[in-house]
């Protein structure tokens, strides 16, 4: 949040010096996506980001996609590939993922790895290919977005995922903060382990921590 605030303030201060509007592209999941205000009560924050700016200086291209994880957005022809045709040097790219990267069949593991395991062991293959591991695929996909954006002269900004409304009393639970340390799955030595847990404070299964690691590594 601190980085986002700094980004917004910097843009506001630079507005008088801009000769033309800069463009901000947003990629992420349902918490960012566009919704029809006449047919649903759902709202993504990307819908309203542009209202904080004078369009003479800043325009927003919200490409948030409900249900997307990092890999499905990257590989889907209608998403990352098409966004490349809309970008130009000097644009900004806001990147927010985690909700669907946590998985819908198994939690906290690469679902393609799980699919391969199922095939090898004669188990039903998962029909949902979403899900990445915070230590491996999730970080790699964030790096891909960053590297490809920079190659086009676009400024990437990593945005931490919105907390889920998972409460224990008045506190947000661990998984509500996108840390699956209380329940996750893994494959080791060709054995599937489910309902695994880690001590409090161990951030191995935290997607937020994984994003911060990439941010520091890439100086984003």
| pLDDT (average), residues 29-38 | 94
Q: Which residue has the higher pLDDT, 33 or 6?
A: 33
Q: Which are the contacts of 153, defined by CB distance < 8 A and separation ≥ 6?
A: 88, 89, 90, 91
pLDDT (tens digit, 9 = 90+) per residue, 172-205?
999 999 999 999 999 999 999 999 999 999 999 9
CB-CB contact of 58 with 21 (8 Å): yes
pLDDT (tens digit, 9 = 90+) per residue, 88-147?
999 999 999 999 999 988 999 999 999 999 999 999 989 998 999 999 999 999 999 999
pLDDT (tens digit, 9 = 90+) per residue, 1-18?
566 566 666 666 555 554
CB-CB contact of 153 with 127 (8 Å): no
pLDDT (tens digit, 9 = 90+) per residue, 158-168?
999 999 999 99
Task: Tell me what percent of the residues of the chain surpass a pLDDT of 90.
Answer: 84
| pLDDT grade for 80, boundaries at 50, 70 and 90 | very high
Q: Which residue has the higher pLDDT, 217 or 14?
A: 217
Task: Identify the CA nearest to 144 among candidates 58, 79, 66, 49.
Answer: 79
φ, ψ of residue 35 in degrees (nearest 5): -135, 150
Instruction: Report which DSSP code applies to 179.
Output: B
**What per-residue confidence (pLDDT) applies to 105?**
86
How many angstroms separate the CA atoms of 85 and 88, rounded?
Answer: 8
CB-CB contact of 102 with 70 (8 Å): no
**What per-residue confidence (pLDDT) applies to 9?**
63
How many angstroms separate the CA atoms of 14 and 7, rounded?
Answer: 11
Strand ranges, E, within the chain: 22-27, 58-62, 92-95, 155-158, 167-168, 171-172, 184-188, 191-196
pLDDT (tens digit, 9 = 90+) per residue, 52-75?
999 999 999 999 999 999 999 999
Q: Which helix (H) or strand (E) holds 68?
A: none
Question: Six-digit token pair at 86?
Answer: 């809309």
């Amino acid at each position: 949040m601190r980085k986002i605030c700094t980004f917004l303030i910097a843009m506001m201060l630079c507005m008088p010096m801009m000769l033309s509007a800069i463009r901000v592209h947003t990629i992420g999941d349902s918490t960012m996506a566009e919704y029809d205000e006449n047919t649903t009560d759902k709202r993504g924050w990307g819908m309203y980001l542009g209202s904080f700016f004078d369009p003479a200086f800043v325009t927003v291209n919200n490409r948030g996609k409900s249900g997307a994880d990092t890999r499905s957005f990257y590989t889907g022809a209608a998403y990352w590939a098409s966004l490349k045709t809309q970008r130009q040097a000097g644009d900004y790219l806001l990147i927010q993922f985690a909700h669907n990267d946590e998985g819908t069949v198994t939690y906290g593991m690469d679902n393609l790895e799980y699919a391969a395991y199922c095939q090898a062991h004669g188990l039903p293959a998962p029909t949902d290919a979403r899900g990445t591991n915070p230590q491996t695929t999730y970080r790699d996909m964030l790096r891909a977005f960053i590297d490809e954006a920079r190659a086009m002269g676009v400024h990437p900004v990593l945005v931490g995922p919105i907390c889920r409304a998972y409460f224990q009393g008045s506190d947000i639970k661990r998984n509500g903060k996108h840390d699956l340390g209380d329940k996750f799955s893994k494959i080791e030595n060709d054995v599937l382990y489910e309902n695994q847990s880690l001590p409090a404070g161990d951030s191995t299964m935290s997607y937020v921590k994984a994003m911060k690691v990439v941010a520091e590594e890439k100086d984003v």
